[in-house]
Structure 1
Amino acid sequence: MMDSNEKEKKIVSAEEYQQARMDLLQQEKEATQLLQRLATSRRELPMVEVSNPDQFKFDTPDGENSLLDLFDSRKQLIIYHFMLGPGEHRGCVGCSFCMDHIPNLGHLWSRDTSFVAVATAPLSEITTYKEQMGWKFPFYSSAKTHRVWQKAEERGEIITWKPGNGYFGLSVFKKQDDHPVMLSFLRNFKRIQKSQGAYLSITCRGRSIGREELFAYTNGRFLVDEKNQLDRRYVKFNLDALCSTAATVGGQSSPITAIEKMEGGFSKVLLMQKENGMEVIAKIPCRIAGPAVLTTECEVGVLEFLRKHTSIPVPRVLSWSSDSSNAVGVEYIIMEKAPGVQLFEVWGKMPKTERPQFIRSLAKLEAQLSAIRFPASGGLYLQKKTGFSKCTPLDKDIDLTSSFCIGPSCDRAYQTEEIETPVIPSVHDTGPWNTISALGISIARRELSKISNGHLTSHAHFYRGSVEEHTQLLETTIRLMTHLDANTILSRSSQPTLWHTDLHMGNIYVSPEEPSRIVSFIDLQGVLVLPAFLQARWPVFLKPWEESKYVRGPVQVKLPDDFDQLDEEEKKAALNEWEQDMLAKTYEIATYLENRPAYTAMNVPRVFRELFIRCGETSETGILPLRECLIEISQSWSNLGFTGDCPFSFTEEEIETHGRQFADYEDWHQVQAFAQECLDTDAEGWISPQLDFENQRNLNKQLQDMYIKQMAGEKTLEEVQAIWPFPL
């Protein structure tokens, strides 16, 4: 009902209304931009040292404390100046409302930040009101400090720290280097309500960081090609817009008050805490992750499918965008924070008698994936959100509402990063693929396209093959791929299957009270639907100690026959190997009992999985690993489930030449593995931020020197330097 005093609105044409609406939208955009610039200026406000901080005293239940004491051994301190004066029985309504929304202080403590509220009333009156309101945060009397401010004003002195009128305000302090106390932020009166959520620094591993550090990669260093590695992981975005979006998700709008940077190797991961205590995760893919649009849409599709069609616990997607023209400026996903704790936090404390129960629970959840009969291989997407010209809908018995489809692969192997090389113009087929032959042929043709367009990595330390040899071998591989659909062994394990192929302890969350109970899986970025024999595998923490020596099937895992004759160090090593193989056997048995299709897929001859892997790496590692697979297949054709004659062959001379070349490749590969294991790194030379980078660089040199003296054999210094993975 319109108020009688309300000005009557005009009625206009549709065109006039649209113009007025666009004018208002422009004004709103300008106001938003102004507020964003203001927020930036607020964060960039310089700090000033607080002179003589010991003069500021506060009455607490434990006696008189100085300003320094309030830090409570932390680096940052937030003081809320509450409007409650002497003799006032009720505090300010606005202040009380703010204090009702103070989050669990543990979140601030974990970021090395203390929080206290202060008022000029005596401590006894503050304590009474605090108890009435049911508040648990520290609330002290600043009456003595208020008198310091008053006396300074009477003397006409300028005092560094003085909130307006000694009442309603917010002060943020920091201890830095040789400065005892620095004032980093100060707000008075009602303006404080506009700055909530902006007063706490962004942090990474407990350290306060700026925005630029948020965009950069800071989760480690690289021993090789570091600038390029960092560039590939740099992502700039509109943080204010991301915070605004995150503030509105989850059912209740509440501003973001803290951000903890938790990035991985392929994406920015931000833990964002709201003022109401709710926590959400924001994920932004890095360029190294592959095509950002597909990567984002595929991860959303997988998460939504698992929540809708299985009981496998994964975070709920709250908001997402695969259009980088959005306000944030990049593709992103905002999702629930996984409950529980990461498995690595409790695995060592979990009784070994409970581990089989955990492993069987894992196998039961994975069995749900094996039971779903997807119609094709590729990425799993929300059907209505894609614009693909080629996609395969799921069968009605799987997806009654036709919400999902199989579309192109988001595998980063199908994208060449423009910063390093030109775009590949002739990738023939990115999926979906209805057969394993179609998938294999696509991979081979992708590599042919890379090689024909100059994407051939060269190494001087082992034979890689000429362009002509690459082309000939890949064409031979394509002829082989056409025979795979009729293979009797592969036909039992070719069903397109969704699988989490990066299942380490950091990606599994369990109940802290019941560690054998899985409560969430995370990091499903890049998860695809592929033939089961390419998917099913041991989770990395349950793999055999040495897979090539592990005996599969119903056999008992035993200690060495000469165990009693070993010295203590050797016994310790033997027990470690035995315990790891026992975990692997437990997973193998649980998979046999709960997930027979995956068990069968895991026991497909290794050469079939190697064929697909080595074919997809040809442009990077050369022809030798792929040719090794083809030679093995040609020599075991009928035993591997093929019928008829093998469509290709190798002469004895070719096999002999290959044997010499492959020995050099294996030698190179062993050196890579040795250096990576000793340096606790990977092929890219990534060094964890928990390790001292300079120490690891020195260790790299020491390892190379040791290899030259003890393991290089007849290799010259130049030959060792050529095969060493991390140049000095």
Structure 2
Amino acid sequence: MLGSLNATSLVILRRYGCRGISSYASTARSQEDSLMVPTLKKWLYGSGIRSFNRIFALQFDGAREDLIARIPFPSAGPRGLLTKSEVATMDFVRRKLGVPIPKVLAWDPSPSNFVGTEFIITEKCPGMSLAEKLPDTSTASLYSANVAMWMGGLANIRFSQFGSIYYKEDVDESLQARPLYAEGGEEDDCSERFRIGPSVERAFYRLERADMEFDRGPWPDAYSYLKASAECEIQWMKTYANSEEAVRTQRHIGPMHNVARHVSVLKQWISMIPAFIPSSDKLARPALSHPGILSKLVFIDDSDLWDTSGLIGWQGASIQPLFLTGRPEFVRHEASKFKFIKSPGILPANFSQLTPAAQAQALEEQTQSSPFRSFLVMVRSLSPELFDAWVQHQKHAQTLKTLSVSASHVWSQGLPLFEHLLMNTIDEYGKSIPKHPDYPELPVTFSSEEKKRTAKGLQEIATEHKLFGDIKNALHKKGIEMDVDGSVRAEDYTAAREEAKAMRRSILGRLAQKERIMLKAAWPLRDTKFAYNQESCIGK
């Protein structure tokens, strides 16, 4: 695991919440380098990029390039497994597809090592991130060609199961006997070196789930995967949701439903999963995907500004159904932003009848939307199945993805939101969601009374979302940016807190007593509000 690093000294982190990466050597890429001593150059976490890790840049005497040290927070994912899978996944993607991923120089998944924590040390990605170089996403999309090749290549790999990738020696013997690729897949170096093991997705390890026994994979089919996610939530609620702490921190502000009601609705979802899964095996087969390709994770080469030099952010990557593969954040076409262009890169049919000014605007919109069209054209040529999931079955795939994620957070999000999603999905069955040939009718229906109750609960949740948006906009006008979890830069905290307090006092002063009680319950920055990135995945 030490790779090319030898044992000199890497003492850096004692003051940052762990005993430090000590006694792990500097940069001995060669014997002559063995005496170089590292220093902490920069603590990268907190620089405006939300992360599940402490990230450090290490500078070495005489070295031209920094190294990057990453230590996962307890909220990142399963202790030990997360690091094992991340290192193996990065290695697999480099070997299999040649994707420029920073080389891992040293790593240790054990929290009880003499460092005091699990860690990964990698080479630094050359160049700068796309977000730093081109903050305008419409321009950033010009760099989508390599991303399309990477994603198409990943989508074309036929895996045997759903789960996460590990080195062969890091999974149980029973899993070592299972092949990496699906039947008929071509054997190569990777098929011997890697295996599929338990999923490292956070949904299976949040809070007390980390200590619970349930099915974390690997799974043979998409149904088993989606079912396991819902059953994980059911088992947690039955065991812990009635505790004082769980009730106190429940995010939902509408009518409080008991555990039995939550479980009943989740079981309804499980009963409908087979009907909602695409009937085409090509769309539901196992596929490895990046957790989320953001512009801050794609790097541009300084020597060739039109070439991408790296892709980072593989922590938590897993093998999921192909239809759950997400698009890159910076390669999107939002039709609502365009007056004339509805299909990316294509001029409207009445272009010749438009006024000169309107034609000029349409041509500008065509230019802005063309990179997205080029991206899809390339994806279609590389992986027709991924293209189908994104375009031909877009509504279907997005609905399933939303339901899958929501099923894992029913208690924290509030039952009305999940019920609303289910009701809409049932209404769309046979329309935007094709009827499965084996399931002409769904096993679940909702009464008009249930729909009214859900609508009322949704209205109360919407109040919280509106308040959050109002606060976010007010802070933005003050030059303070607030993240989706309510976090701000450390230097902005005091000013942001005072501004939010002033808004709260102002709003409360205009309300009647009953409305004040509702607003206090719905206040989006209240203490004990649920926050995804604060859920530990280590357990007790």
Cα separation, partners in 2 of 1:350 and 1:503, compared to 1, 3 Å: closer
Once the two structures are TM-superposed, the CA of residue 262 in structure 1 deviates from its matched residue by 1.8
Match of 1:176 in 2: none
When the two structures are aligned, how many residues end up with a matched partner? 484
- 5 Å-filtered alignment, 1:562-573, equals none
- Which one of 156, 159, 178 corresponds to residue 374 of structure 1? 159
Instruction: Quote how far apart the aligned CAs of 1:521 are.
Output: 0.8
**How far 1:446 sits from its partner (Å)?**
0.4
Q: TM-score, normalised by structure 2?
A: 0.78
- The yes-or-no answer on 1:532 pairing with 2:322 is yes
Matched residue type, 2:199? S
Find the counterpart in structure 2 of residue 298 from structure 1: 85
- The residue type equivalent to 2:483 in the other structure is D
**Partners of 1:303 and 1:314 within 8 A in 2:** yes
Q: Does 1:506 align with 2:332?
A: no
Structure 2: gaps (5+ residues) = 1-6, 349-353, 476-480, 528-540
- Cα displacement (A) at 1:323: 2.0
Residues 425 and 324 from structure 1, CA distance in 2 versus in 1: closer, same or farther, beyond 3 angstroms? closer
Which residue among 249, 255, 258 is the counterpart of 1:466?
A: 258
- After superposition, the C-alpha distances for 1:556-607 in whole angstroms (9 at most, x for unaligned) are 488xx99989xxxxxx9x9999987666555445434544332222233232
2:20 counterpart letter in structure 1? N
Alignment of 1:433-512 (within 5 A): 433-455=219-241, 456=246, 457-459=249-251, 461-484=253-276, 487-488=278-279, 491-512=281-302
- In 1: Cα distance, 2:369 partner to 2:344 partner: 13
Query: Following superposition of structure 1 onto structure 2, how do residues 221-260 of structure 1 map, counting pairs within 5 Å?
Result: 236-241=18-23, 244-248=24-28, 252-259=33-40, 260=42
How far apart, CA to CA, are the structure 2 residues paired with 1:585 and 1:715?
52
Confirm whether residue 719 of structure 1 aligns to residue 508 of structure 2.
Answer: no
Q: Which residue of 2 aligns with 1:672?
A: 468
The Cα shift of 1:633 comes to 2.7
Which residue number corresponds to residue 16 of structure 2? Answer: 214
Q: CA deviation at 1:611?
A: 1.4
Partners of 1:651 and 1:523 in 2: CA distance = 44
Deviation at 1:449, TM superposition (A): 1.0
The whole-number CA distance in structure 2 between the counterparts of 1:250 and 1:385 is: 29
Equivalence map 1:546-695=2 (5 Å): 553=343, 556=346, 584-585=372-373, 587-603=375-391, 604=393, 605=396, 606-639=398-431, 640-641=433-434, 642=436, 643-676=439-472, 679=475, 680-689=481-490, 691-695=491-495
Q: Give the structure with the larger strand fraction.
A: 1
> How much identity, in percent, do the aligned residues show?
21
The structure, 1 or 2, with the larger RCO (C-alpha pairs under 8 Å, 6+ apart) is 2
- Change in CA separation of 1:275 and 1:589 when aligned onto 2, cut-off 3 Å: same
Change (3 A) 1:318 1:563: farther
Query: 1:388: how far off?
Result: 6.7
Whole-angstrom distance in 2 between the partners of 1:350 and 1:649: 42
Matches within 5 A, 1:152-171: none
Query: Given the alignment of the two structures, is residue 701 of structure 1 paired with residue 501 of structure 2, yes or no?
Result: yes
- The question of whether the paired residues in 2 share the 8 Å contact of 1:246 and 1:280 is answered with no
Kindly state the Cα deviation for residue 727 of structure 1 after the two structures are TM-superposed: 3.2
Contact map agreement 2:292 2:326 (CA 8 A) in 1: no
1:361 aligns with 2:146: yes
Q: Kindly indicate whether the alpha-carbon contact (under 8 Å) linking 1:543 and 1:580 is maintained by their aligned counterparts in 2.
A: no
CA 1:424 to 1:323, structure 2 compared with 1: closer, same or farther past 3 Å? closer
Q: Unpaired segments of 5 or more residues in structure 1?
A: 1-31, 37-196, 203-210, 216-235, 566-571
Aligned 8 A contact 1:450 1:619 in 2 = no
The residue matched to 1:301 in structure 2 has which SS? helix
Q: Does 1:261 align with 2:43?
A: yes
**Is contact 1:272-1:280 (8 Å) kept?**
yes
Distance 1:361 1:424, change over 3 A: closer
Q: Tell me how far apart the structure 1 counterparts of residues 336 and 512 of structure 2 sit (CA, whole Å).
A: 27
1:147-175 per-position Cα deviation (integer Å, ceiling 9, x unaligned): xxxxxxxxxxxxxxxxxxxxxxxxxxxxx
Measured after TM superposition, the shift of residue 348 of structure 1 is 5.2
The one-letter amino acid paired with 1:481 is: I
Distance verdict in 2 for CA 1:254–1:722, change over 3 Å:
same
Q: Quick check: which has more Rg, 1 or 2?
A: 1
Displacement after TM superposition at 1:265 (Å): 2.3
Alignment partner of 1:385 is 2:170? yes
Distance 1:658 1:294 in 2: 39
| 1:497 Cα deviation from its structure 2 partner | 1.7
- C-alpha distance in structure 2 between counterparts of 1:703 and 1:367, whole Å: 48
- 1:488-536 per-residue CA deviation (whole Å, 9 max, x = no partner) reads 3x64421222222332222111112322210111121111111122123
2:478 is aligned to: none
> Post-superposition shift, 1:403?
0.7
The CA deviation at 1:706 is: 6.9
CA contact (8 A) 2:253 2:414 kept: no
Whether the 8 Å contact between 2:77 and 2:200 is mirrored in structure 1 is: yes
Q: CA 1:629/1:493 → structure 2, altered by over 3 Å: closer, same or farther?
A: same
Q: Is residue 497–residue 529 contact of structure 1 (8 Å, CA) maintained in 2?
A: yes
Q: Which residues of 2 match residues 75-474 of structure 1 at below 5 A?
A: 212-215=14-17, 236-241=18-23, 244-248=24-28, 252-259=33-40, 260-263=42-45, 265-277=51-63, 278-347=65-134, 357-387=142-172, 390=175, 392-395=178-181, 397=186, 399-400=188-189, 401-417=191-207, 422=208, 426-455=212-241, 456=246, 457-459=249-251, 461-474=253-266
Structure 1 residue 450: deviation in Å? Answer: 1.2
Counterpart secondary structure, 2:403: helix
Cα deviation for residue 545 of structure 1 reads: 5.0
AA of the residue aligned to 1:361: N
Q: Distance in 1 between matches of 2:356 and 2:474?
A: 26
Aligned residue for 1:320, secondary structure, equals strand
For 1:542 and 1:276, locate their aligned partners in 2 and report how far apart those are by CA, in whole Å. Answer: 39
Measured against aligned partners, the alpha-carbon deviations of 1:249-292 in whole angstroms (never above 9, x if no partner) come to 57742432321222362112222222231532222111111212
Secondary structure, aligned partner of 1:458: coil
**Inter-CA distance 479–356: structure 2 relative to 1 (3 Å threshold):** closer
Distance apart, 1:713 and its partner CA: 11
CA distance in 2 between counterparts of 1:576 and 1:330 reads: 52
Tell whether the 8 Å contact from 1:374 to 1:496 is kept in structure 2 after alignment: yes
8 Å contact from structure 1 (residues 356, 586) kept in 2: no
Output the amino acid matched with 2:235. S
- Cα distance in 2, alignment partners of residues 578 and 676 from structure 1: 32
1:396-440 CA-to-partner distances (Å, cap 9, x unmatched) read 5154451111111112222244xxxx5666442101112110011
Asked whether the 8 Å contact 1:424–1:453 carries over to 2, the reply is no
1:621 and 1:351 mapped to 2: Cα distance? 32
State the Cα RMSD in Å: 3.9
Q: Deviations over 1:369-389 (max 9, x none)?
A: 111112222111111233475
Q: Quick one: distance in 1 between partners of 2:357 and 2:496?
A: 37
Return the offset for 1:630: 1.9
Question: CA offset at residue 620 of structure 1?
Answer: 1.1
Distance 1:727 1:577, change over 3 A: farther
The alpha carbon displacement at 1:544 in A equals: 4.3
Say if 1:424 and 1:449, in contact at 8 Å, map to a contact too.
no
Larger CA deviation: 546-555 vs 634-643: 546-555
How does the TM-score come out when normalised to structure 1? Answer: 0.59
